[in-house]
Amino acid sequence: MGRRVLPRQIAKNGNNAMNVLILGAGQVGRTVLESLAADFNMNVTMVDIDPHALTEVRAMHSCSTVLGHASSPDVLREAGIDDCDAIVAVTASDEVNLVACQVALTLHDTPMRIARIRNLAYLGDQHAELFSTGGIPVDEPISPELTVVNHLRNLVEYQGAVYIAEFADAQVIMTCTRMQPESELLGLPAVEFAKANGNRAHLVGLLRDNKVVQSLGDATIADGDLAFILGQKHAMQELSRDLSGIFKPYRQIVIGGGGHIGMRLAKDVHELSPRRNIKIIEADPARAEQLAGELASSVDLTVLSGDASSEDFLRANDVNDSDLYCAVTNNDLVNVVSSLTAKRLNVRTVFTLVQRVNYLESLVQAGIEIPISPQQTTANIIQRLVREKTLSVFRHLALFNLDLIELRVQGNAETSRVVGKRPSHLKLPKGTHLLCVIRGANTESGGEPLEIYPIHADPDVRLEEGDRAVFITEGSEATTKAEQLFRAKAFKLF
């Protein structure tokens, strides 16, 4: 079975489309493909050794496919690597991903090479030179485990948030916060939000009944709303918990699963202020003993050997007294069962790791409010890297089929369709919602003071080169069209 080739696309500006080669038709590869395939400026080819997986891919997306081993020079050549602008290696094998990137650079000088790396030994500080100049030719090694740990750590730090995104080179934090019945913000007009918190944070969007509130200037905050709250990092750390209505900080945390994710999460959370009491539940007695030895210096940490999905075990070890339960084993069933059990034991907040993206909505309906997908978090990073020339932040909110994106304003009045215009004068594509404009830079590096202009409060702000525009977009097609709008006319991807 050879290559299934579609006609080569030409971008509307007359330039050839960007050619992206995705190696691996698993969950991550398909999630990346779903976004890129909606962009008419992208030609995407997928390579995999499983013919059934490729058949499923072709049934859902207009893309080329090649059957074969992703690290084979002949297979890569058949897939069109000679004209490839970016290679995204996300097969199940680290070694295949690394060899494919080596072939891409050595034989074809591929400009961008991204690889998923699962073995953390490759990414240790002692091996940093592996990916430095002259080492393994991967521009961006991405670890799903480290990505998940960072995501979970942020959820603990910015308590009350369901999603978290960083904007303006991580100077600005957005928390997507579910309004609780106890929140003092209920009934507050959206336009008075900033004044109510001393202008430390801005309400820039609301999601109600899974739909974006169109006219924020006329809206009041209601129980159950998902509020998109934006502020500088130091302010959001303090405000996040109180804004949601969850006033009690996470003090007692139980982590179900003592693998790499559980161990690293325990270490990271233990460093946060205020200090938390942490328990890890590990099914394997030998691994539990090993963890106890490695984490002995953490005085507020206990390692328990037992079955995290057993209600009797959880009760016997006082999980019902904890504020947060994190299910992070490598078994979806154990994670789901233990999370549901924790909810029955009145643990207020539960984080649940699930490998299958299509489980997320069902889990929320079952009462698990914050499911975490390693595949989705990894795919978010990859999609942002592939499109990084204009799109500097990308976070897909899988539960709502929405994207949070940050687009750079580039060019001048002659080369840009947005420079100098007010938001109300932009011809925004259907399904795109401009939330705010961020202007300025880190004053420590000599830039102008950073300013946030919520669109509902500052409708007359004019876009300037260097601004960051933050959007909610309804699906991949809307994201692509918004990105196209912000590209300068003379801009080339590579």
Domains of the chain in sequence order = 18-142 (3.40.50.720), 148-244 (3.30.70.1450), 252-376 (3.40.50.720), 379-486 (3.30.70.1450)
Burial of 430 (0-12, 13-18, 19+ CB in 10 A): exposed
Q: Are 493 and 230 in contact (CB under 8 A)?
A: no
Q: Whole-angstrom Cα distance, residue 268 to residue 265?
A: 5
Q: Which pLDDT score is estimated for 298?
A: 61
Q: Which pLDDT score is estimated for 6?
A: 37
In the chain (494 residues long), the average pLDDT of successive 10-residue segments reads: 38 58 93 81 92 94 92 96 94 95 93 90 73 78 91 90 91 89 88 90 93 91 93 81 72 93 91 85 94 75 92 92 93 92 91 83 79 88 83 87 92 91 92 94 64 92 94 90 84 45
Q: Are 481 and 429 in contact (CB under 8 A)?
A: yes
Four-CA torsion 177, 181, 185, 191, nearest 10 degrees: 70
Q: Which pLDDT score is estimated for 125?
A: 66
Q: Which pLDDT score is estimated for 449?
A: 82
| 451 SS3 class | strand
Q: Which pLDDT score is estimated for 116?
A: 92
Q: Which pLDDT score is estimated for 17?
A: 73
Q: Which pLDDT score is estimated for 133?
A: 61
3-state DSSP percent of the chain in helix, strand and coil, to 5: 35, 25, 40
Q: Which pLDDT score is estimated for 340?
A: 92
Output the CA angle 430-431-436, nearest 5 degrees.
110
Q: Which pLDDT score is estimated for 1?
A: 38
Q: Which pLDDT score is estimated for 247?
A: 60
90-111 b/e (C-beta count within 10 Å ≥ 16 → b) = bbebbebbbbbbbbbbeebebe
Q: Which pLDDT score is estimated for 470?
A: 96
